[in-house]
Amino acid sequence: MSADANSQSDVETVVETVVEVQKLLNKIGEFVLHRELDFEVRAGEVMTLVGGSGSGKTQLVRVILGLKRPSAGLVRVFGVGWDDPSYARVRAARERMGMLFQNGALYSAFTVYQNVAFPLRERGGLDEEAIRAIVYAKLAQVELEPKHADLLPASLSGGMVKRVALARALALSPELLILDEPTAGLDPDRSDAFVRLIKRMRSEYRFAVLMVTHDLDTLHDLSDRVSVLADQHIIASGSIDEVRSVPHRFIENFFGGERGRRAFTAA
Ligand SMILES: Nc1ncnc2c1ncn2[C@@H]1O[C@H](COP(=O)(O)OP(=O)(O)OP(=O)(O)O)[C@@H](O)[C@H]1O
Ligand SMILES: [Mg+2]
């Protein structure tokens, strides 16, 4: 066990809201990207964030991950703000999240094994034998074989890269998994397979998911709730049906277009 394992149990409180963003102001230089933005992800749910390209979805994820400091407003993950003075609390909250980034999913100089082992080594407290057991178990969960462990990312297909990145995101058994465009760049079959995989993992582990996607089929298959980012803030939040009925240009185009009709009538 790591030196601060005991202190972690003190600070891991059970919260119903795993992500809480209130009145966020987020500027990039003088440019205001988010203003008066409220957003939440509840324990165990799949919350899908949609919005036009460049509307600031990835940047919002970066703020939630603590990679970007907001200009004003409240951001809490598992009840902890990234400016919390307790390093143990911040670290414990960080280790309860797993992230699958939109681009550059894997470390290109590391093998599959080293990529999945990375967060386990970062956390510390495990010997190589324990790390190996977890890495191979995670690879099996995402339907990769042991023989793939020594490959470098450059020799993997797009679908395999996503699955290795998912194995890495799940290495610490997170309670919140963040997925930024998880099916972008995959063909429809691979995309369906990836959605099935996430569904299956969730039915086993019940983690919450914050997912960014443009893909209506993925949204339809996975979401419990949807939030729409437009005009610098969240303009609608709720079930798919609740959100679809909100009168707004982006919502009408996104859900009401030909793609939207196909995704929502096929079920
Ligand atoms: N470092 C930066 N400097 C200036 N502008 C930036 C910077 N980083 C991001 N932006 C701008 O912030 C806006 C939001 O970017 P973001 O990546 O969050 O969009 P997005 O909603 O994720 O889009 P997409 O759906 O295409 O992934 C974009 O207009 C982008 O140009
Ligand atoms: Mg993005």
Tens of pLDDT, residue by residue over 227-247, are: 999 999 999 999 999 999 999
Q: Is the CB of 103 under 6 A from ligand 1?
A: no
Instruction: Considering only residues 267 and 52, tell me which one the structure prediction assigns the higher pLDDT.
Output: 52
Q: Is the CB of 51 under 6 A from ligand 1?
A: yes
The pLDDT confidence band at residue 184, using thresholds 50, 70 and 90, is confident
Cβ(168)–Cβ(116) below 8 Å:
yes
Distances (CA, A) of 102 to 16, 113, 156: 27, 21, 17
Dump the DSSP string for the chain.
--TTHHHHHHH----SEEEEEEEEEEEETTEEEEEEEEEEEETT-EEEEEE-TTSSHHHHHHHHHTSS--SEEEEEETTEETT-S-HHHHHHHHHTEEEE-SS--S-TTS-HHHHHHHHHHHH----HHHHHHHHHHHHHHTT--GGGTT--GGGS-HHHHHHHHHHHHTTT--SEEEEESTTTT--HHHHHHHHHHHHHHHHHH--EEEEE-S-HHHHHHH-SEEEEEETTEEEEEESHHHHHTS--HHHHHHHHSHHHHHHHH--
Say how many Å lie between the CA of residue 102 and the centre of ligand 2. Answer: 7
Mean pLDDT of 194-213: 92
- At 261 the pLDDT is 66
- At 4 the pLDDT is 45
Mean pLDDT of 56-75: 96
**Residue of the CA atom closest to atom 27 of ligand 1:** 53
Q: Is the CB of 247 under 6 A from ligand 1?
A: no
- At 257 the pLDDT is 73
pTM for this one? 0.89
The ligand minimizing its distance to the Cα of 50 is 1
**Residue of the CA atom closest to atom 4 of ligand 1:** 28
- Which range (58-67, 115-124, 252-261) has the least confidence? 252-261
**Residue of the CA atom closest to atom 11 of ligand 1:** 54
CATH superfamily of 12-86+205-267: P-loop containing nucleotide triphosphate hydrolases (3.40.50.300)
Say how many Å lie between the CA of residue 8 and the centre of ligand 2. Answer: 32
Mean pLDDT of 10-15: 57
**Residue of the CA atom closest to atom 2 of ligand 1:** 28
The ligand minimizing its distance to the Cα of 56 is 1
CA pair distance 58, 77, nearest whole angstrom: 17
- Mean of all residue pLDDT scores within the chain: 90
